[in-house]
Chains A and B, each alone.
Chain A
């Protein structure tokens, strides 16, 4: 920068301006940097909360993914087993008494110790034994090791949830039971393995046997119904509203109402489902059919809005070109506009499906809070859904459901991540340059 030549007012004026510019520049840069810092802070806080939430859930739920099994030697006492009807035997009592004998513990007259021992094993044990005998009746009289899950409390003990430091009266397991568990562990009869039951079983009152399979299938069936109803209706309505309907007061009214419907609380849809589908049309309560219908109604406004904005985003030059070629309006829409809007339509549909997947309030109102064991086979049968399952498990009294609730939440989150990823992949694949 050169010094201004004295006496030449023009260059002096220029320098003054430059100085002022420079001063202002500093302020502007400072403001920009502040803004950028705020932005980064906001992102950091959001991500922090997200990580916190996720971390908490993972911390609580990761233990649900493995469970402990115990292998006990069972003597098929011919004196206790009826050959003609082996399944009728009280195997639980059998195993408990045999265990007491093995540990050299005397039972009292009321058999409380046997009961206590029984509480360490899952009810699954008797079914396993019965099943073995069913397959090989010749085993009667033999001693063989049977592996079965531990009961939920025993499992919790091995996971460290129940400890001796808590006063005995506040624990579910007595000191004696803990000793027995330690002995079994010392014998090497206890092993930990992946909790397959969580993914293959339906709901159960026994936490160790409870799984999300039924709810997942129920949710999937429900989503299927929702998709089959909401996507064609929504896309069709949006195409009509955007491309064919005349622009008059009625159309404006419809648009305002659709936008409002998208914001209606989901529980209102539940009430609608209850009164309309269940009470008036007498559709089966708590079925994927009703759930799907209710969720379809909920997803419809979102799909319509997303489809309409995708259609709006198609450049008008394509429409004009098609019309000028002599294509009718229908041909223009279905051969040109809609294919080009497809990525947006698909994204909107999949995201609204993912949203519907996680809605709980309407499902509760149509009766999906009830306990439904097993895995559903049709859309007219009562089922559970993942969100309502989580709700049920959270309210359950057994301690072991605590970790399983978190695990179910993780399953639900995984489901949604998969659906969103599918949305992105599909959109990429169908994106066309114009």
Chain B
């Protein structure tokens, strides 16, 4: 049983990472002498709300063997559209943002599936174009969201530790878990990521699955951006590359491989939660930024090592050599 879990990185890696982060989080009072409050947990879930939907969107495309760089673009555009269209009716703003994200995702998915273009380059182009579009919409400036009552309502604590955005994020993960775990679509997604040619031959509707996935990632990213700019009462035309990098870290911590075919929504949740916990630990203990960066580097270093076939081959060779040496010495021992 343990061996089976240990050989599945999509279970082992996020479980270990989440445990380590939880222990570190629980140990923060030792560093600054202040006991943890429910507000710290609330803030951790707020962090999850910020990055969770991006992580889920990116992670779903990664499970299918693609990489949607444009999620940060849809995130920025979603925030801007929501603030622009939702000054009087927040729901209308969210709907407009989500529609834009879905449309962009569907077009990209169509290009990637029909023309078989690597998603990295298509989504890079879209990312640059969307940042430009968002910036052109606002003249390059932050746009304030004046609907204060919506902002206040959105960040009200629910059941002490949750808020609407964090519950939305958790619900999205739950839906993804049900779809990936219990439906034919879920099996198709994994098959498309594992071996595309074989799944085409086996009758999986690869193109439709890809279009659906990119539509999902665009939608989730735009929704995340909309909720984020409501809760901060501003839309930032250029959130930078950092949100993408952090959600990629979340996905990789979830044990999702860039080669595709591997990963679980529960793992993605654990990955996003680990990143959110680390962010909250930073905020509580005020450890310098560079320490966090070095931690991320170390974390990704471990993941690189786990996923590098060449390194594994090298280690196997070493182990095999060690074994032959060992048998030789025992043989010599018996002869003597």
A and B form one complex: no
Listed in ascending order, the chain B residues whose CB lies under 8 Å from chain A are: none
